Structure 1
Amino acid sequence: MKLSWWEIKNWFTNVDYTIVGSGIVGLHTGLRLRERFPDSRILVLEKGQLPQGASTKNAGFACFGSLSEIADDLNNHTEQEVINLIQKRWDGLQLLRKRLGDAVIDFKPYGGYELFLEKDTSTYKDCLRKLPFVNEVLQPLFRNDVFATETNRFDFKGIHEHLIFNPYEGQIDTGNMMQALLKEAAANDILILNCQTVIGYHEKIDGVEVNVGDFSFSTKKLLFATNGFASTLTNGAVKPARAQVLITEPIPNLDIKGTFHMDKGYYYFRNYDDRILLGGARNLDFEGETTTELAQTDLIQNRLEQLLHEVILPNQDIKIAHRWSGIMGVGSQKNPIVQQLSNHVYCGVRLGGMGIAIGSTIGTELADLV
């Protein structure tokens, strides 16, 4: 494709900052750069028609980790690392809400619950045992107890008697959030080009030559916000993790409100109006789900449906309206990678399935590296 003079002049000349990825991290990076450098030219390149990873494909949980997930993290990270991580997620949620407004993103503070299948007795007992300790660890951050036990008032079947409740959790409308962020970016004169795949870049003394296939252009700084697609950038420290999701048709008299977690966060569901949105189960096939292919598999979809029909809404005739998947970025550590890769190249990746919570913070940190 041969660009016109006007296209070159208005989009690809004197580019100060080029951001790869137009999801939560990429757009927050752009907005923060605009605050810091009001007169700069900021360009965002996105390989999809819409953000291609998880930003428009997630389940809309405004959460910072279930009790079993936090207990598990305490086995693999220091206490301080876990506190810092939760602080980052909590701060990120507040930043997102402040920037866009609760009404716009349809934030609903219904609280979050964790349930335990009858066969998960050891995890259940472990969580009940660790609950006071985790509350103590989080006390300086929330000035209150975060987790408490609650009886199963939702008529879930095949689970242990108590659920663990967290009043600080909420849900949002993911589509509304991303539309609002895109509008905010446009209002701040951040140029977004979709269907543009960066196939290579070459660093020079005064900037970076970026190759998008048909043409190349120069930018002073190049910032990657590609999360699950960042494996080659980070020498494999980030791996893609596919998350499969389904949503039901409307269910009359649905009495379930809130966000719900199971099995260390590997399963999650919520109400969306009078539907149930349910996702997860990648722990059934870690190898198969370490992929950037946006597809569904029978193994996982069947398991999600089984949970829906046996545990969440037993003995009800429920129809599935739609299925999809998104790509998260995970690694052996939960800490995000926000770093300068070379003189003019930076990245903010590995959000560990917590993009809604942490994406705004990571975007801000990424922009502040420059």
Structure 2
Amino acid sequence: MNLSYWELKNWFTNVDYTIVGSGIVGLHTALHLRERFPDSKILILEKGMLPQGASTKNAGFACFGSISEIVDDLKSHSEEEVINLISNRWKGLQMLRKRLGDNAIDFKPYGGYELFLKEDDSSFNHCLKKLPFINEILKPLFKADVFATQIDRFGFAGINEYLIFNPFEAQIDTGNMMQALLKNAVSENILILNQQTVTAYSDKENEVEVALGDFNFTTKKLLFATNGFADSLTNGDVKPARAQVLITQPIKNLDIKGTFHLDEGYYYFRNIDDRILLGGGRNLDFETENTTEFGQTVVVQNKLEQLLKEVILPNYDFQIAHRWSGIMGMGNSKNPIVSQLSSNVYCGVRLGGMGVAIGSLIGTELAELV
């Protein structure tokens, strides 16, 4: 780096806290550190032009798990763990709304729906059977039944006539949310440098030496908020998971409002600006989609387009306007990792595809570790 005296003095000298990653977790970490340590020098390093990963690339679901996801989670997690996961996601959503305000994030409480294809009757019946039990274990948290059946009124095709509705689910504008968080950070005198990749670090007991290519600086504490890119930090406990997404051109007289789930959450769609945004399909080829490389594949994109034509928009003419992908952080457990890696190094990662819901909470917990 060809840095001046002023650049070295203002950005890289006497740094108290350096956060790697300017996504939902990283920004909430920085903001909570500012609340705890008002006079500290806080620096955020971001390897992308915009926050990489999933923070600016997600579908904007303010959700905590569809009924089929929850039923599936109960196979690999205890009842207490599942309730705790949902509680933390719900708590995180309230923290996000409180910090930014519903207007800033374009919060729309349209509710969420789960669709079941006709050939998936066994899953539908299994979820119906489990519905009273799931409502019972979640009632202490929500003070009401979370899930109920509703007749499909959206004109979907090839599905069971009943959807499972969740009135507590909502949608947000992901771009507005991230802009609001970034504005908050700048207003709190938090320094943000984009297109900076941490290539190495060394904990020196009383400080951490951080390498940005061939340039090194020191910071008192180093906090990683890199989610799907955190594999090397956690000895393999975090695996990247690519999510492919597409969005249609505006559709005249579109009468679909809400957030929608299909196939245990592996597919998800919503309305936005008279368009349908649809993502998912990594279950078609887990091996290929467990990657930190952005991009699309024919097999996933073809499946997404098939769902649009045959299930979601059978009565509409539509065209695809844009495609993209994001990188999530998954693992054998859906419990996030918030831990101290060494004397002065910490991480908050593995959000399990629930970054919008849980990111605020994980950022706060990460800041509290210091």
TM-score where L is the length of structure 1:
0.99
Which residue of the partner structure matches residue 35 of structure 1? 35
Residue number in structure 1 paired with 2:168: 168
Which residue is equivalent to 2:325? 325
Q: Quote the Cα distance in structure 2 between the aligned partners of 1:213 and 1:2.
A: 12
**Does 1:277 find its partner at 2:274?**
no
Cα distance per residue 1:2-45 (max 9 Å; x no partner): 21111110000000000000000000000000000000000000
Residues 82-161 of structure 1 mapped to structure 2, 5 A cutoff = 82-161=82-161
CA distance in 1, matches of 2:81, 2:156: 34
Distance 2:161 2:137 in 1: 25
After TM superposition, list the pairs within 5 Å mapping 1:13-32 onto structure 2. 13-32=13-32
Q: Give me the whole-angstrom Cα distance separating, in 2, the residues matched to 1:120 and 1:332.
A: 25
Residue 317 of structure 1 deviates from its aligned partner by: 2.1
Instruction: Give the whole-Å Cα distance in 2 for the aligned partners of 1:202 and 1:92.
Output: 32
Structure 2: distance between partners of 1:254 and 1:226: 37
Question: 3-state SS of the aligned residue for 1:264?
Answer: coil
Q: How far apart are 1:300 and its partner, in Å?
A: 0.3
Secondary structure of 1:120's counterpart equals: helix
Compare 118-127 and 142-151 and name the one that shifted more: 118-127
Query: What is the alpha-carbon distance in structure 2 between the residues aligned to residue 126 and residue 262 of structure 1?
Result: 15
Q: Is the 8 A contact 2:251 2:317 kept in 1?
A: no
Equivalent residue number for residue 244 of structure 1:
244
State the distance in 1 between where 2:137 and 2:288 align.
Answer: 36
Aligned-partner Cα distance in 2 for 1:275–1:31: 34
Instruction: List runs of 5+ in structure 2 lacking aligned partners.
Output: none
Q: Which amino acid aligns with 1:357?
A: A
Q: Quote the offset at 1:316 in angstroms.
A: 2.8
Residue of structure 1 equivalent to 2:181: 181
The number of residues matched between the two structures is 370
Query: What letter corresponds to residue 287 of structure 1 in structure 2?
Result: E
CA offsets per residue over residues 155-175 of structure 1, 9 Å max, x none? 100001110000000000000
Counting aligned pairs with the same residue, the percent is 76
Q: Does residue 1:56 correspond to 2:56, yes or no? A: yes
Task: State the Cα deviation string for residues 290-328 of structure 1 (Å, max 9, x = none).
Answer: 001110011000100000000001143210000000000
Identify the residue that residue 9 of structure 1 maps to in structure 2.
9
Within 1, Cα distance between the matches of 2:106 and 2:266?
A: 25
- Deviation string 1:208-236 (CA, Å, 9 cap, x unpaired) is 00000131000000000000000000000
Residue pair 2:252, 2:274 contacting (<8 A) in 1 also: yes
Distance between the aligned counterparts of 1:349 and 1:123, measured in 2? 31
Shift of 1:75: 1.0
How far is the alpha carbon of 1:207 from its aligned partner? 1.0
**Cα deviation code 1:115-149 (max 9, x no counterpart):** 00111111111100000000001011001100000
Q: Where do residues 71-90 of structure 1 align in structure 2 (5 Å cutoff)?
A: 71-90=71-90
Please say if residues 228 and 238 of structure 2, whose CA atoms lie closer than 8 Å, have aligned partners that are also in contact.
yes
Output the CA distance in 1 between the equivalents of 2:326 and 2:93.
Answer: 20
Give, in whole Å, the separation in 2 of the partners of 1:2 and 1:161: 64
Distance 1:122 1:218 in 2: 57
Q: Which amino acid aligns with 1:94?
A: Q
Provide the C-alpha distance between the structure 2 equivalents of 1:188 and 1:79, rounded to a whole number of angstroms: 40
SS in 2 for 1:223: strand
Q: Look up the match of 2:313.
A: 313
C-alpha distance in 2 between matches for 1:67 and 1:298 = 29
Task: Say whether the 8 Å CA contact 2:155–2:315 is kept in structure 1.
Answer: no
Larger mean Cα displacement after TM superposition, 312-321 or 331-340 = 312-321
One-letter amino acid of the counterpart of residue 89, structure 1: R
Distance in 2, Cα, partners of 1:192 & 1:316: 44
Residues 1:338 and 2:338 aligned together: yes
Q: Residues 75-97 of structure 1: CA distance to partner in whole angstroms, max 9, x if unpaired?
A: 11011101111010001000101
SS at match of 2:232: coil
Query: CA contact under 8 A between 2:115 and 2:164: conserved in structure 1?
Result: yes
Q: Distance between the aligned counterparts of 1:251 and 1:125, measured in 2?
A: 33
2:208 maps to 208
User: What secondary structure is seen at the aligned counterpart in 2 of 1:64?
Assistant: coil
Q: CA RMSD in A?
A: 0.6
In structure 2, give the amino acid aligned to 1:78.
S
Secondary structure in 2 matching 1:150:
strand
Give the distance between the partners of 1:260 and 1:357, measured in 2 at CA: 16
2-structure distance, mates of 1:20, 1:73: 30
When the two structures are superposed, what TM-score results if normalisation uses the length of structure 2? 0.99
Residues 173-216 of structure 1 deviation map (CA, whole Å, 9 limit, x = unaligned): 00000000000000000000000000000110211000001310
Alignment of 1:214-225 (within 5 A): 214-225=214-225
The amino acid of 1:229's aligned partner reads F
